[in-house]
Homo-oligomer: A and B are copies of this chain.
Amino acid sequence: MRLRAKQRILARVQEQRTYAVVGAGALGVFYGARLQRAGCEVHFLVRSDYEHVREHGWEVESKDGDFRLPQIRAYRDPREMPQCDVVLVALKATQNHLLPHLLPPLLKAHSVVVMMQNGLGAEGAAAAVAGPRTVLGGLCFICSKKTGPGHIQHLDYGYVRFGEYAFDGRPRGITEALRGIGEDFQRAGILVSLSEDLVLARWQKLIWNVPYNGLSVILNANTAELMAQTEARQLVEAIMREVAADAAALGRSVSESFIQKMLADTAKMTPYHASMKIDFDARRPMEVEAIYGNPLRAAQRAGAASPLLETLYRQLKFLDERNR
């Protein structure tokens, strides 16, 4: 027993993965800082706060306990960074046109790229740059925000669901890459689940993201307001059912009880502004293509008309363009 435990520790050290975090917003910093605190070597690509964090590191104010990392590996340019075993992409999906510039310097032959983004299409965009390397999706269920230079606030949740991307959209099952990266996150104290079918996992997340993100912007309302008003709640439900029908057209089944649980959970949540609303209010580009455009086109290619998704898409495109 003692010998096996030793061997396991040795194996762990040998296979210790190095991490690059691309996109040091609240989400990237939260997961990267947790991994570093758990002993991983983490390299952060930092834009706006570079001078500050180079000197002071990260400060994480979290419902799970505050902590500081005074010493971090921060870079302004990916060409200054070492190649890493795992590249966590925590950019907004609206920044994915930068991937051909940001990713290549970080990739070795067997690097794994993890797209920690909303919506659909992120893994395809990464695979176009990463070539034959493994690409994962990391679906983040977290409320966090940046509150100052090097300072982020983790308000609620934190859970990540990983699934492996396949070019043909078929389920890849639980792969070695999934398991290894999942274990690192777990050791960092993050609740993790592994999905055999990334496409299903992404559509399940869209069931929540499509109604609440869009309506929070279009109706200028938080989750509690949407759930409290009769017609708004009916609209949320109708959108969820349409997204489930779109998933079904792509061969993925989302049950009615899943929808009901999501409605009930959201009604119980503290009033929450979806990430798209936060972007809109800050006059940042919204993830309209990732959360609406790409799912809409996928559904329509599969023969689903999706009139509600299309209506929200068009309303949000208008609001997004005018907001710049």
Chain A residues near B (Cβ < 8 Å): 215, 218-219, 221, 225-226, 229-232, 234-235, 238, 307-308, 310-311, 313-315, 317-319, 321-322
Contact = CB atoms under 8 A, between A and B. Distances in A.
Contacts of A310: 238
A318 B227 CA distance: 11
Contact of A315 (B225, B235, B322): B235
A219 B311 contact: no
Tell me the number of copies of this protein: 2
Contact of A307 (B218, B307, B318): B307
Contacts of A308: 307, 311
A228 to B, nearest CB: 10
Most B-side CB within 10 Å, residue of A215, A226, A230, A318: A318
A322 B220 CA distance: 11
A13 to B, nearest CB: 53
B319 A219 contact: yes
A78 B229 CA distance: 37
Contacts of A311: 235, 238, 307-308, 311
Chain A contact residues, majority secondary structure: helix
Given A218-B218, A219-B319, A319-B219, A232 B307 contact: no
Contacts of A322: 221, 225, 229
Contacts of A234: 314
A219 B219 CA distance: 9
B315 A219 contact: yes
A319 B220 CA distance: 9
A230 B288 CA distance: 15
Contacts of A318: 219, 221, 226, 229, 231-232, 235
Most B-side CB within 10 Å, residue of A218, A230, A315: A315
Contacts of A315: 215, 218-219, 231-232, 235
A204 to B, nearest CB: 23
